[in-house]
Structure 1
Amino acid sequence: MQLSSKIAIVTGASSGIGSRFSKDLVDKGATVYGLARSEDKLKSIQTELGKNFIPVVLDITDHEAIKKWVDITFDEDKLPDILINNAGLGLFGDVDELPLKDWDTMINTNLNGFFYMTRQVVPLMKKNEDVCHIVNIASIAGKIGNPQMSGYNASKFGVRGFSESLFKELRYDGIKVTCFYPGSIATKFFENAQGMETHPNMMQPEDVSKLLINVLETSDNFLINEITMRPLNPKPPES
């Protein structure tokens, strides 16, 4: 795919790898609709990236809001080429102590949100004469279960199954589906979820985004359906 002039949707675009994905896509000449709940952060990114980054304040757990936005944004003459389902969060704890609200929040954001967005975008991609691409950002936690992570694991294992099914379902419609399974990335995710500081041995957002661009730019009949990535040495330098 040649990214110049393509239309991309990136969820969770206000921070972390989502904001880096947006930057690199804009640098390649794409128009990016950056979705998140924080208007201030999105506007700050637009100031940095320019008019090809279009901020959209939207909660991906609200299916009706997604449908309304898609209906007023796209039509037969303006179809999306790329969807990056990236928004997600982690809330950890023992299964018998994890608040129901935390479980529901993870399932609604990490799994239902992917479904809601994909459900609305796929019919438009099917109308697109060009090959389109959906990238789902899961986690290494979508392949390996760990204590105190039952809810997060369940949501990311769900993304894994969702992505596997989608790639087989949509390939004959000219829609690629790729699932990313990243290990630790130096973003605020770990600080927000576990109070853990980032360190230099974690993967860097720019490296993950560079890989995303490479995957998107593969030739039309070349499909990478999943990628697992990890830091070579995941331990902090002092260890």
Structure 2
Amino acid sequence: MELTSKTAVITGASSGIGTAFSQALIEKGVTVFGLARSSDKLEKIQQKLGDSFIPVTLDITNHDTIDQWVNKTFQQEYPDILINNAGLGRFGDVDALPLDDWEAMISTNLSGVFYMCRQIVPKMKKNPNGCHIINIASIAGKIGNPQLSGYNASKFGVRGFSEALFKELRYDGIKVTCFCPGSIATNFFNEANNSESHANMMQPGEVADVLINILETPSNFLINEITMRPLNPKHPDEQ
């Protein structure tokens, strides 16, 4: 895909790799609709990235709100790229994990992806150019671990959904790629389980570089799933 003058929708754009994705795409000439729940954070990002970043305060767990925004925004022109990046992690033993934490992960990490695709895909089918959907899963979507049962379930779900979706949409000229990154130096770990990010984790900009490479592949070339890991994941202070 030639990225110049394309339009992208990115969920979870207010921090971490969502912000890095936005910056990388804008540097390529893409107009980015950045979706998140925090208006203040989105406005600060717009001040940094400029008018090509269009902030959209929206909760992706609310299907009706997504429906209204998509159909209002894309009446004449249609999106070229959708990046389902919004996600959260809540960790704990299965018999101690609060119900609210389970429901929040499933609603955001899995249902939110479905809600966005359900509304954006019909618009992409009207787009005469090739389109691309990127769904952000995780290493936790490939390997189960103790105290991650809810997070694992949501991210395994994203991988399965992405696998089915790429087979469903390939003949409509819509690519689907599932990202399965390992640890990235963002505030995700700080918020999820009080562990700190560190220099040996992957950097958001590095993951954004991979995004650009995948989006710029030739029209009949598809990478439907990619796994990314830090070579040495240990904290620099560890021996």
TM-score, L = length of structure 2: 0.99
**In 2, distance between residues paired with 1:199 and 1:8?**
30
Structure 2 unaligned blocks of 5 or more? none
How far has the Cα of 1:162 moved from its partner?
0.1
How far has the Cα of 1:237 moved from its partner?
1.1
% identical aligned pairs: 71
Letter of the aligned partner of 1:147 in structure 2?
P
**In 2, distance between residues paired with 1:238 and 1:73?**
49
How far has the Cα of 1:135 moved from its partner?
0.2
How far has the Cα of 1:203 moved from its partner?
0.3
**In 2, distance between residues paired with 1:67 and 1:121?**
9
Aligned to 2:204: 205
* Residues 69-102 of structure 1 deviation map (CA, whole Å, 9 limit, x = unaligned): 0011001x31000000000000000000001110
How far has the Cα of 1:8 moved from its partner?
0.1
Aligned to 2:145: 146
Runs of 4+ residues deviating >3 angstroms: none
Structure 1 unaligned blocks of 5 or more? none
Equivalent pairs counted in the alignment come to 238
**In 2, distance between residues paired with 1:82 and 1:60?**
17
For the pair 1:19 / 2:19, whether they are aligned, the reply is yes
**In 1, distance between residues paired with 2:173 and 2:32?**
21
Aligned to 1:129: 128
Aligned to 2:45: 45
Aligned to 1:63: 63
Letter of the aligned partner of 1:58 in structure 2?
L
**In 2, distance between residues paired with 1:236 and 1:14?**
26
**In 2, distance between residues paired with 1:56 and 1:238?**
40
Letter of the aligned partner of 1:53 in structure 2?
F
**In 2, distance between residues paired with 1:39 and 1:79?**
24
Q: SS at the partner of 1:228?
A: strand
For the pair 1:36 / 2:43, whether they are aligned, the reply is no
How far has the Cα of 1:238 moved from its partner?
1.5
**In 2, distance between residues paired with 1:11 and 1:184?**
19
Structure-to-structure mapping, 1:71-220, within 5 angstroms: 71-75=71-75, 77-220=76-219
How far has the Cα of 1:196 moved from its partner?
0.8
Aligned to 2:220: 221
**In 1, distance between residues paired with 2:49 and 2:187?**
21
Q: SS at the partner of 2:119?
A: helix
**In 2, distance between residues paired with 1:143 and 1:101?**
24
**In 2, distance between residues paired with 1:165 and 1:234?**
31
Q: SS at the partner of 2:180?
A: strand
How far has the Cα of 1:4 moved from its partner?
0.6
Letter of the aligned partner of 2:145 in structure 1?
N
Letter of the aligned partner of 2:212 in structure 1?
I
Q: SS at the partner of 1:10?
A: strand
Alpha-carbon RMSD? 0.4
**In 1, distance between residues paired with 2:197 and 2:95?**
28
* Residues 95-146 of structure 1 deviation map (CA, whole Å, 9 limit, x = unaligned): 0000111000000000000000000000000011110000000000000000
Letter of the aligned partner of 2:94 in structure 1?
V
